[in-house]
Amino acid sequence: MLKDFLMRAGWMTKLLVAISVVVSIVTLSGTNSVTDYFTFNWELILQGQVHRLVTPIFLHFMIGSLPIHLIFNMMWLWDLGGSIEKERGPWYLLGLVLVIGIASNMAQYFAEYLMEGYVSPRYIFGGMSGVVYGLLGFIFMRRKFDPFFRVELHPGIMQFMMIWLVLGFVLNSTGMMGIANAAHLIGLVSGGALGVLTSKIKAF
């Protein structure tokens, strides 16, 4: 089973994992000044720093002094992203990651703006989880509308991820943890929409 898991990822998946790990190291898990280069800042994006639309997906933070955030996101990316890459190729996966990443990052930023009326310059979010939810939604909807799509989901994965999605809103409401729920939700929705859209276009 472990061998199958390790063999699942192609070079693009491995590259995305490697970038996430390196960014976590050089930013000390989002705690030093280097972190500022990867954050989502709408004013700077409008000034031309468009990399910020994507780079928050590579930021991961410590949970209780442990790299749990990074480890779990990389496991899901390796599994889901690797499966898509094996089926459709590295550039197909990269396209999904970029579209979903931008959608989920923008959702998280503007959700904060809608709730607070402004976004503090110190507001930092990040992680690959919005993308992971998007890949999950993509596979689920693509298989639903395209019976020839060969990437499968384990029956328990969708239930587990939906439970965690709901739990995230609960934890945020209690103030116990800060979780990027908007990124998770919009990541899931945008990935699902891409799954439906690509199932209707034979070239994809």
SS (H, E, C) 139-163: HHHHHHHCCCCCCCCCHHHHHHHHH
| 6-64 per-position pLDDT tens digit | 777 899 999 999 999 999 999 999 999 999 999 999 999 999 999 999 999 999 999 87
**Any idea which of 50-59, 72-81, 115-124, 193-202 has the lowest mean pLDDT?**
115-124
Is residue 81 within 8 A of residue 9, CB to CB? The reply is: yes
Long-range interactions of 40-45: CB distance < 8 A, separation 24+ = 40/105, 40/106, 40/108, 40/109, 40/125, 41/121, 42/109, 42/119
Q: Mean pLDDT for the chain?
A: 92
pLDDT tens per residue, range 165-182: 999 888 887 776 778 999
60 given a catalytic annotation: no
Among 104, 184, 190, 199, the active-site one is 184
Q: Is the pLDDT of residue 127 over 80?
A: yes
Q: Which of 24, 104, 129, 190 is catalytic?
A: 129
Say yes or no to pLDDT of 132 above 90.
yes
CATH number of 2-200: 1.20.1540.10
What is residue 67's predicted lDDT score, i.e. its pLDDT? 92
Q: Helices 155-174 and 129-145, interaxial angle, to 10°?
A: 140
Query: Is 184 an annotated catalytic residue?
Result: yes
Candidates 100, 204, 82, 90; CA nearest to 148 is 204
In the prediction, which pLDDT does 5 show? 67
